[in-house]
Structures are given as C-alpha cells and as structure tokens.
C-alpha cells in the first residue's frame, strides 16, 4: 500500500492537472487538509512540482494549486545496454 505522500504525488502526476489541497484531500479520502498542504508544499520545493495561485481543475475555484512542472512531463530517456556498459 502506498504512503499518503506517495498517493498525493501519484494523483498530481497522473492527473496532469493543477489541483487545490482540498480537492486532493477529498479525492484521496483523507481526513485532514493540513496533511495534504504539508505534502504539496514539500513537493513544490522540488523542480518537478509547482504551487501557484490558479484555477483548480476539480472545483474551478482560484486558489493555491499544485501541479507538475512543465519539464517534468517529459518521458524518461530509454535505458539501453550501451548506456549501462562501462566506458
């Protein structure tokens, strides 16, 4: 079973949309909104996520939302035998 931070990360990553903490909380069935806020704030300290004031994709209200950063949407490069071979 995934931890709560893993579930929040997966929801944001897979949805591809910007969502507010309240909507993330409701989607995941979590009891405390501050728990989601702590996780999304931590995710936003990385280069993969952005927190900004914008319309939430779920409730359509303008509030602080979290989304994947634009460059984080790229697919990882394929790993080949050549890249694994020692030089």
**What is the pTM (predicted TM-score) of this model?**
0.77
- Which numeric CATH code is attached to 4-73? 1.10.10
Rounded CA separation 30/79 (Å): 37
Q: Which tens digit of pLDDT belongs to each residue from 27-66? A: 999 988 889 999 999 999 999 999 999 999 999 999 999 9
CB 22 within 8 A of CB 58: no
pLDDT at 10 over 60: yes
What pLDDT, on the 0 to 100 scale, is given for residue 71?
67
Domain spans of the chain?
4-73
């Amino acid at each position: 079973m995934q931890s709560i931070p893993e579930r929040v990360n997966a929801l944001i990553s897979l949805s591809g949309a910007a969502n507010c903490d309240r909507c993330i909380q409701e989607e995941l069935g979590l009891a405390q909104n501050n728990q989601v806020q702590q996780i999304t704030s931590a995710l936003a300290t990385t280069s993969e996520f952005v927190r900004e004031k914008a319309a939430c994709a779920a409730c359509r209200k303008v509030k602080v939302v979290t989304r994947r950063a634009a460059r984080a949407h790229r697919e990882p490069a394929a790993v080949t035998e050549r890249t694994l071979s020692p030089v």
